[in-house]
Chain A
Amino acid sequence: MKSKGAIFLAIVVVAFMSACGGGSGDKEKKGKFAPPPKAKPMTYEEAQADWKNQKGRGPITKVELGELDAEMAKKGEDIYVLKCTACHAPDKEKLGPAPTGIFERRTPEWIMNMILNPEEMAMKDPIGRGLLMKYNTVMANQGLTEDDARAVLEYFRTL
């Protein structure tokens, strides 16, 4: 009985901690400057060498790639043409890199996070930061939904 109470309280404590952590975004908004982490952040080169484990930062933690879904890929191509081709060509570098062959250097999760969360990726992800330095600009957030991004990912599989 009492031990159940202890567990309950422990949960409360964890909730407080997570509330505190969850508030960190909010804190930044109100003027908190987070000091740079003591540990040296991974460099672009280090992260690139380890790309198979780099999932980036954002809402996507796991993507299952099954059989190629042609319908979804077509939808993804339409979205890509409408929202991405001002800066990206499918098979050559324009203002940003080409998606052809992207699965040989990026994980599906990383790709979707880059599409969905480009600002944070450019600031905090070691590969994203490296790309910012290379291309001199933060990729525009085109407001894709997760389903849209997933469809674009499917299109990339056809390239």
Chain B
Amino acid sequence: MRSTTFIFALLITASLFIYSGCGNGNSTGGAMSHSSAAEKVYVAPGEYDQYYEFFSGGFSGQVTVHGLPSGRLLKTIPVFSVDGEKGYGFNEETKPMLMTTYGFVPWDDSHHPKLSQTEGVHDGNFLFINANNTPRIARIDLTTFETTEIIEIPNSGGSHASPYPTQNTEYLVAATRFSVPIPQKDVPIDSYKENFKGTFTFISGGQEPGEMDIAFQILAPGYDYDLAHCGKGVSHGWTFFTSYNVEQANTLKEKNASQYDKDYIAAVNWKKAEEYIAQGKFKEWPSEYYHNYYSDKTHTGTSTKMKGVKVLIPSECPGLVYYLPTPKSPHGVDVSPTGEYIVGNGKLSADLTVHSFEKMLAAIEAKKFDDEIDGIPVLNYDAVHVGTVEMGGLGPLHTEFDGRGHGYTSFFISSEVVKWSLETFEVVDRIPAYYSIGHLSIPGGGSMKPWENGKYLIAMNKITKDRYLPTGPELAHSAQLYDISGDKMELLLDFPTMGEPHYAQGILASKIMDKQVKFFRLEENEHKYKALTEADTKVVRKGKEVHIYGTMIRSHFAPDNIEGIKVGDKVFWHITNLEQDWDVPHGLAVMGANNAELLIMPGQTETLVWEPKAEGVYPFYCTDFCSALHQEMQGYIRVSAENANTKMKWRLGDEAFGE
């Protein structure tokens, strides 16, 4: 009897132990309690986040700006796709931004946001991002958070390895993801090996608004060029591009481009390229491309068709390009903060390959070449390889760095972040990502100076599944925030993102926030159709074109009654927002317009084209709630028959004008 009681007690104790063991398992698994994670990401109402984090919008074509650590969405910046919300690509001022040699392109796939650099450190001047589909690079001005410049990249088929600036943003780079006949021509697709080529492109003017241009291109073998990073510190002057499809397959690439054990990282000596350009050792090709620039003085974008690029051929320019053999279709190529290590993330492998820049220079010096392809020496693998991070996981894609001697690599297939030592190349920590992480970002982690030596890491996950409330077949992609300041990485937060972020870059808020433009000064407005006071407002007919020079201020349009428009007219509605205070945009929407609204910032002028198709009186109104009398901010425009003799008249209150 006693013994049974004893067994009872033992069993109860055991069950409690097991139960509590189970609970402990959970909390050590998360490595922290929910409340402490919540504290780390809580930004109280009215307080600011510590970082800006710029996410690529992926197939939305845009950029989103989030705050860290809260993950809050601060803004969506339209870049490569039209955006009805802001009228981007719909109003006359921004349409030129989307012009290309293929005409007006209203959509693209934005990939890699990269901040401008000075001395290898993010300076907070500009953000650049590439369009993958119709190859382009855009500049976003970080005083206005507007897209102010877009340059098209000729002789390229899909631009993925871009924009990746050099240490002082001397150049932005690009490479063709899809090799194509260069220059383009009509050939059988099966003649890939014979006719298809790749290019590396260097774009100058990164630190000079309005001055972006194609400095030179380098013709390369017809592989798929995937990603890039520029050297820094010791390796300043070089740029590294990964390639895959060294097999040169042109069909069923998922199998046929994955056959060889090794592909190549191309090391480009761009200082050497500058010498060859200076010596005139280039070919001048008549390639055409567009350069689009938006001015905050004229508030207008201008498209310029450019012609002619300088092309360097590696076989004619010794020392320009070398190949570093790298296992299993490397995806990302990342350069450690000092510039010494070049990390190849072989996406079909379990291991990370690390090359040494110093060894590479020595191998070049000693001519340790195994092969030569189209005049490009292939360096001996053992002569450049310095270490392998073994069994890091499955499917490594990208690596960033903290300031404490660690690399952090995303593993897509095994869905985890692996932290490893830059000294021993040994794995020191690993943590799961939910699910299937692509890129990762440590603010400053791609530069020479990770902010705060690396405090946060953001995982951009390709698969969302059950992380949020379900929303039908399509789910927002999911980002995850980790605290990496301690020895163990800790998962803090999930937050949804727009499109598919193919990378993000963060910067300390203090580097940007104090230089924000709050409104545009009216006296500096140089728009061709501005009206700076209500006395300047007018309606002018030029044949079938009618130009309305209007204004808006809380809470009325001037003029707000317009008559004399006829069916078949093309009405250019130029409106200047006369406000001179922060955060008072006004919108313009007119019934039946076939484009979008205007959303006009204080001091800015924008133009909506409206082509009325039927007689009647059409209301128009302000779309952005601006004051207690916002609902009253509206007007009427009268449309008469094509042959009517309605006089042109316009008025605001007692002030009436007309022909």
A touches B (Cβ under 8 A):
yes
Least CB distance, B349 to chain A, in whole angstroms: 9
Cα distance A12–B432 when bound, in Å? 32
Bound Cα distance A94, B178 (Å) = 23
CA distance A36 to B31 in the complex (A): 17
Q: Which of A1-57 contact B (CB under 8 A)?
A: 2-3, 5-6, 9-10, 12-13, 16-17, 19-20, 23, 27-33
Choose from A23, A27, A33, A132 the contact partner of B394 (Cβ within 8 Å).
A132
B414 to A, closest residue via Cβ = A123
- B394 surroundings in chain A (CB, below 8 A): 123, 132
CA distance A20 to B28 in the complex (A): 14
Inter-chain contacts of A138 with B (CB < 8 A) = 413
* Contact, CB under 8 Å: A132 / B26: no
Q: Of B14, B254, B414, B432, which is within 8 A of A13 by CB?
A: B14
Given known A9-B15, A16-B18, A33-B432, contact A136–B26 (CB-CB < 8 A)? no
Taking the closest CB of chain A, its distance from the CB of B491, in whole angstroms, is 5
The answer on a CB contact under 8 Å between A23 and B29 is no
A118: min CB distance to chain B, Å? 12
Q: Say yes or no for B74: interface residue by CB 8 A criterion.
A: no
Which residue, A30, A31, A94, A133, has most C-beta atoms of chain B within 10 A?
A: A31
Report which of A27, A32, A123, A137 forms a contact with B254, defined as CB distance below 8 A: A137
**A28 and B258 form a contact (CB under 8 A):** no
Q: Is the CB of A30 within 8 A of B29?
A: yes
B431 touches A31 (CB 8 A): yes
B260 to chain A, nearest CB (A): 12
Residue-wise, chain A 125-140 has the 8 Å CB interface mask toward B (1 for contact) of: 0000000110111100
Which stretch in B3-11, B276-284, B619-627 binds the other chain?
A: B3-11
Q: A20-B21, A132-B413 are in contact. Are A30 and B26 (CB under 8 A)?
A: yes
Q: Within the complex, which residue of B5, B7, B15 is in contact with A12, where a contact is CB–CB below 8 Å?
A: B15
> Does residue B430 face the partner (Cβ distance < 8 Å to A)?
yes
Q: Is B22 an interface residue (CB 8 A)?
A: yes
Neighbouring B residues of A33 by C-beta, 8 Å:
29, 416, 430-432
Judge whether A95 is part of the interface by a CB distance below 8 angstroms: yes
Docked pose: A6 CA to B431 CA in angstroms: 41
| Whole-angstrom CA separation of A122 from B25 in the bound complex | 26
Q: How far is the CA of A133 from the CA of B350 in the complex (A)?
A: 9
Distance A29 CA – B432 CA, assembled complex (angstroms):
9
**Shortest beta-carbon distance from B246 to chain A in Å:** 15
Contact present for A6 and B26 (CB under 8 Å) = no
Q: Are A19 and B254 in contact (CB under 8 A)?
A: no
Closest B residue to A9 by CB, please name it.
Answer: B11
Return A137 CB to nearest CB of chain B, in Å. Answer: 7
Does the CB pair B413–A27 fall under 8 Å? no
The answer to whether A27 and B29 have CB atoms under 8 Å apart is yes
> From residue 27 to 54 of chain B, which have CB atoms closer than 8 A to chain A?
28-31
Q: Is B629 an interface residue (CB 8 A)?
A: no
**B4 adjacent to A2 (CB under 8 Å):** yes
Residue ID in chain B nearest A137 by CB atoms: B254
Across-interface contacts of B7 in A (CB, < 8 A): 6
* A95 and B29 contact, CB distance less than 8 A: no
Per the bound structure, the CA–CA distance linking A3 and B7 in Å amounts to 10
Complex alpha-carbon distance, A11 and B85, angstroms:
62
Contact (A95, B22) CB under 8 Å given A10-B11, A32-B30: no
> Majority SS of interface residues in chain B?
helix
Contact of B432 among A5, A16, A17, A28 (CB under 8 A): A28
- Contact at A3–B4, with CB atoms within 8 Å? yes
Question: Binary interface profile of A, 90-132, with partner B (CB < 8 Å = 1, else 0)?
Answer: 0000110000000000000000000000000011000000001
A13-B11 in contact (CB<8A): yes
Which of A2, A5, A32, A95 has the most C-beta atoms of chain B within 10 angstroms of its own C-beta?
A32
Question: B491 contacts which of A12, A17, A31, A132 (Cβ < 8 Å)?
Answer: A31
A135, B254: Cα distance in complex, Å: 9
Complex CA–CA separation, A11 to B448 (angstroms): 60
For B430, the chain A residues whose CB sits under 8 A away are 33
Contact flags B400-442 to A (C-beta < 8 A → 1, else 0): 0000000000000110100000000000001110100000000
CA distance A30 to B31 in the complex (A): 10
Q: Inside 8 A of B432's CB, which chain A residues have their CB?
A: 28, 31-33
Task: Give the one of A3, A23, A136 with max B CB within 10 A.
Answer: A136
Query: Which residues of the other chain, B, contact A32 by a CB distance below 8 angstroms?
Result: 25-26, 28-30, 432
Q: Are B26 and A27 in contact (CB under 8 A)?
A: yes
> CB-CB < 8 A to A95: which residues of B?
252, 254-255
B657 sits at the interface (CB 8 A): no
Q: Considering the chains assembled together, what is the distance between the CA atoms of A122 and B1 in angstroms? A: 54
- Interfacial residues of chain B within 243-258, with CB under 8 A of chain A in the complex: 252, 254-255, 258
B582 at the interface (CB under 8 A from A): no
Given A31-B432, A95-B252, A138-B413, A19:B22 Cβ within 8 A: yes
A31 CB contacts on chain B under 8 angstroms: 29-31, 431-432, 491
Question: Nearest Cβ distance between residue A44 and chain B, in whole angstroms?
Answer: 13
Q: Tell me whether A136 and B25 are in contact (CB under 8 A).
A: no
**Is the beta-carbon distance between B258 and A20 smaller than 8 angstroms?**
no
Contact B434 A29 (CB under 8 A): yes
Contacting residues, chain A, for B285 (C-beta < 8 A): none
- List 26 A-B residue pairs with CB atoms under 8 Å apart, sorted by A's residue number: A2-B4, A5-B8, A6-B4, A6-B7, A6-B8, A6-B11, A10-B11, A12-B11, A13-B18, A16-B19, A16-B22, A19-B22, A20-B19, A20-B25, A30-B30, A32-B26, A32-B28, A32-B29, A33-B29, A33-B432, A95-B254, A132-B394, A132-B413, A133-B350, A136-B258, A136-B348
13 additional contacts (CB under 8 A) given A9-B12, A32-B432: A2-B1, A9-B15, A12-B11, A12-B15, A16-B19, A27-B25, A27-B29, A28-B432, A29-B434, A33-B29, A95-B254, A132-B394, A137-B254
